[in-house]
Structure 1
Amino acid sequence: MNFSTYLLVGIIIAFIVLIASIFKRLNVPLILIALAIGIFFGSDVTGLIYFDDAHLTKQITDIALMFILFAGGFENKLKDLKTVMTPALLLSSIGVILTGLISALFFSLIFKWDFIQSLLLCAIISSTDASAIFSILRKSDVDLEATSLTKLESATNDPMAIIFTTFLIQLVSGVNFSTFSTVIIFLWLFIGGIVIGILIGFVGKFIFKRLKDLDAGYYHLLILGLIFLSFGFAELCRANGLMAVFFTGLILGNTKLPYNSRIASFTDTLSFITNVIIYVLLGLLAFPSKFPDLWVYGLVLFLILTLVARPITVFLLTSFTKLSTKKKVFVSWSGVRGTVPIVLATYPIVAGLDPQHQIFNIVFIAVILSIVIQGGSMNKVSTWLKLATKRKNTVQNLMELVTVHDTDYDLIEIFIDDQKYIGECQIADLKLPSNSTITMINRNNQVIAPSGQTIIMPGDTLFVLVEKENIEIVIDRILNKFNKINEI
């Protein structure tokens, strides 16, 4: 790697940050920005970087997916998912296979492709994208049940799509399987990954509980070790390593760990950086000059997935639930495709099954359409379906009290938005719960040490020490003392 390469890497990173800041208000998903920049610097546009190494891309993306799936598991809280656990897991397992089968049936009939080849194509794009869905729904006001189902499904269906795709590649490559061995291999990949992931998660929990008085960096290092341990042990046992990594993250994410919020921030940062790396690499790997010959295939694949296969799968697998028709429609529409399908599209290239990058480019086009059309309209669809709910007052930031011991307190940051609220209030009039204290106020970049007589007003940022169980009460009592501008 020469100095010009380092220079280009720096320029690409700067471009991503600059363009992301420009398009932030438009809620453009990061995947589009990074892909566009990868394409821009790639062979077919500026020609600054010639990159067609699918093998290297697969190696890098496989490592990156470990961090992405671990973070997906780590940020899911079991208590919020209980009501949607069964339908979400059905959608993320049987649903992936069913979506692939239905899509392949229609695609093979329309384009006269061999059914197994069509099934490989559709298996690759059968999972929804957690990173895109989480970023879109993070600031949305959509019904909690519908969003929880959509998020949990997107966080758990990638491993099944990977298993499904890998199995079909082996099948197309001529690996002989008996029906019995096929079922056993498939079940072990899935169930074995879950069991090993949970096992490593509890091993990690045991280790964390016995480590005391270490710097936060050591805990971050331990997290990295557990990610690689989970993946490596599962692969050694011929189970699915990525499935194992997700469930290791799920166990640890639902455990009280020392420096918990720092670890959560660390895993989120790892996921963010590796997502960017994946998107840029896949953008470089794409050759847009080949798109005109394949755009019809990509468009039809997107339409089959979105309007036929996904709705049939969702309505069928949630038929036993009390989920309303409107929520089922929203879940059907929110099946945005993203990172993993494009990564999986490199697998046939590596296996020698897609030398002309036909499958890769078809998947690439369908994913772009999904992100732009579905991702860009999810909030509008929720409003049309009347699933938008009144957003509760929430904390803007949660700052961990730096201690390796459990504590019942959090330090929260509450911003009184002067674009939303008017009025003023004396702290003594808030009647906050006992053991809740406003420790500092930031007003116009000036720090104020408050007392009971201090007046708080819109534009202030309050830092409040509060018991965890009283966080929502404190937020409501503070913000409800002000009048909302749109209600006057």
Structure 2
Amino acid sequence: MASLDAVSIAILLGAFLVMVGILSSLLALRFGAPLLLVFLFIGMAAGESGPGGLRFDDLQTTYLVGSVALALILFDGGLKTRLQSIQTVLAPSVMLATVGVLLTALITAPVAHYVLELNWAEALLIGAVVASTDAAAVFLLVHAQGLRLRPRVGATLEVESGTNDPFAVFLTLMLVELITVGESSAWHVIALFLRDALLGAVVGFVGGRLVVLALNRVALPQGLHAPFVATAALVIFGAAQSSHASGFLAVYLAGIIIGNRPTRAHNSVVTFLDAATWLAQIVMFVLLGLLVSPQRLLVSIGPAILIALALMLVARPVAVFLCLAPFRFNWREKLFVAWVGLRGAVAIFLASIPMLVGLNNAYLYFDIAFVVVLISLLLQGWTLGFAARKLHVALPRADRGPRRVELDLPGQLEQQLVGYAVRPKSLYLKRGLIPSWSKPTLVIRDQRILSPAEADPVTAGDYVYLLAPPEKAEALDRFFVDMAPSSAPDPHLLGDFMVAGEVTLGDLAGIYGVNVAPDEAELTLADYFDVHLDRAPKLGATLPLDSIVLVARSLGGGRVNVIGLRLPEDEEAPRPPPTRRQTLKRKLKAIWASVAGI
């Protein structure tokens, strides 16, 4: 019975620690603290050296939990990655994820060699353990601080932090094998790397396609789609690892394939994995905190601080500037990418590998990694927003989007129900605008379900549900946020080939002679962009209108407020309306011509 009681107490304490970690996240977000630190400190407080007094030294369980957590985090990252957004940054991101990690490890190794008096293989292992950035840490802090990074910078960081973990794991395992066996050749390392990468890519691609096929062909009971995908991700990871391939690369690639294919229950899968990755991170950091010994940290705190500073101020910036040199990034973007290379759970997880295999000085790797992560989250994490604004890589904050409800429709993949609460100043309520590719289906008012005809006119406080393609659902948000107050259009904008967004299509047709559909004549140009664009407008977005092309030249409040007219190359440009002076001058010329003719 005593053993059963011990298991029950372990369950109670474990669940209590996780619950405290979840609740403490509210306090961390309120005061801007890097959230992952909270979970580490909770684990340290509960550990043998803290007030909790729990003795925990199960390295195999820690490695197992860390592997599962990291696999789910990478899969979730791949699931949310859109191929369209990463195509332009794939080359620099992969360069940072491979050459950048190697350069960071090589530059950090001499510092570890001299301050810790390690041999070169062990020093390089220290560099490899702390070389990779942590995707969860980077984007958790970006989200917590309300930052909107420039698309190229954000996409580069996203792909780099998702793809550098497999290379860092490979490099760490190779160095552990080198230290254990005592010899290895460059060709052997290259051959193993190619085998791991290529076989991992094959397993990830095939596994991702099989999951898509199963989701769309197998009639699973409601609610089991998300657990099926999560467990399938772990099956892909385990299959790749068992085949001596890179399981982390395989699971990340599988996530990208599944996330970019139409599947059933996509939204429930994403929501479930968000919760699963949160829980995985919390459990992982609490366990890692339990392994930390504050007394042992005091012995290596000085060298660890020097290694952390060398990593953040020298190794990472040099690697970033060299890797991004062939690409068109300005110095501000490079400097921000260099500074935002946060270290997180991945570094501490990699540091547990030497302990698991029983290397000499194994706890030294763990302690160094822990201090590096601590300093990185404190120094870089707390200054992330400041750096983004000072280096001008952060876009102005957008208004918080409306709460969107997405419901999958069984039997087809092309449409889903998307629901919103109607706000008093929303574009939908004020103008009655909705994209051409969406269709209002039902309205909920005072707990009654009405058809759009029965509910007409829609009032503030109603809930509107529309049919829309899943990939375009997010683009509906801008129709249900409160509109920013618009100023009166500048009349001078009508005198050139630039027009204000408040000008109607009918007025534009009268001035420039273009043909406009009668039912769209009362639409403003800003409305026309909202109705016909698939997503929120951006600078340079274009829309055809008869023989001309409308180009978004200026945005305000999430809408187009100045539009340029791109004229057909083979036709004469339409003339702007004449000014009063030009009209008077033309009349005087006509009078003079008639007088001279007499």
Q: Indicate whether the TM-score tops 0.5.
A: yes
AA aligned opposite 1:142: L
Counterpart mapping for 1:57-456 below 5 A: 57-138=62-143, 139-211=146-218, 213-355=219-361, 357-392=363-398, 395-404=401-410, 405-413=412-420, 427=429, 429-433=431-435, 435-437=438-440, 451-456=455-460
Q: Kindly tell me: are residues 7 and 231 of structure 1, through their superposed partners in 2, closer, same or farther at Cα, counting changes over 3 Å?
A: closer
SS at match of 2:418: strand
Cα RMSD for the two superposed structures:
2.9
SS at match of 1:413: strand
Q: Kindly tell me: are residues 325 and 254 of structure 1, through their superposed partners in 2, closer, same or farther at Cα, counting changes over 3 Å?
A: same
SS at match of 2:220: coil
Name the residue aligned to 1:481.
Answer: 483
Q: Kindly tell me: are residues 331 and 441 of structure 1, through their superposed partners in 2, closer, same or farther at Cα, counting changes over 3 Å?
A: farther
Larger radius of gyration: 2
Size of the aligned set, in residue pairs, is 475
Q: Which moved more, 1:120-129 or 1:381-390?
A: 381-390
Cα separation, 1, equivalents of 2:367 and 2:462: 48
Whether the 8 Å CA contact 1:231–1:241 is kept in 2: the answer is yes
Cα separation, 2, equivalents of 1:50 and 1:461: 55
Q: Which ranges in structure 1 are unaligned for 5 or more consecutive residues?
A: 417-421
Whether the 8 Å CA contact 1:393–1:472 is kept in 2: the answer is no
Report Cα offsets for 1:132-189 as digits up to 9, x if no partner: 1121223312212111111111111111111100110000012533332221012211
Q: Which moved more, 1:474-483 or 1:127-136?
A: 474-483
Identity of aligned residues (%): 27
Report Cα offsets for 1:445-474 as digits up to 9, x if no partner: x99979454553xxx685452534775765
Cα separation, 2, equivalents of 1:414 and 1:85: 38
AA aligned opposite 2:275: T
Shift of 1:75: 1.6
Q: Kindly tell me: are residues 76 and 414 of structure 1, through their superposed partners in 2, closer, same or farther at Cα, counting changes over 3 Å?
A: farther
Q: Kindly tell me: are residues 415 and 102 of structure 1, through their superposed partners in 2, closer, same or farther at Cα, counting changes over 3 Å?
A: farther
AA aligned opposite 1:173: T
Whether the 8 Å CA contact 1:428–1:452 is kept in 2: the answer is no
Name the residue aligned to 1:465.
Answer: 466
Corresponding position: 1:24 with 2:29: yes
* TM-score (normalised: structure 1): 0.89
Shift of 1:30: 3.3
Q: Kindly tell me: are residues 183 and 256 of structure 1, through their superposed partners in 2, closer, same or farther at Cα, counting changes over 3 Å?
A: same
Whether the 8 Å CA contact 1:433–1:470 is kept in 2: the answer is no
Report Cα offsets for 1:24-75 as digits up to 9, x if no partner: 2234333211111100110111143111222321122223222222212212
Whether the 8 Å CA contact 1:107–1:304 is kept in 2: the answer is no
Q: Which moved more, 1:380-389 or 1:329-338?
A: 380-389
Cα separation, 2, equivalents of 1:442 and 1:5: 49
Name the residue aligned to 1:419.
Answer: none
Cα separation, 2, equivalents of 1:230 and 1:175: 32
Cα separation, 2, equivalents of 1:414 and 1:80: 29
Name the residue aligned to 1:40.
Answer: 45
Whether the 8 Å CA contact 2:108–2:127 is kept in 1: the answer is yes
Whether the 8 Å CA contact 1:143–1:388 is kept in 2: the answer is yes
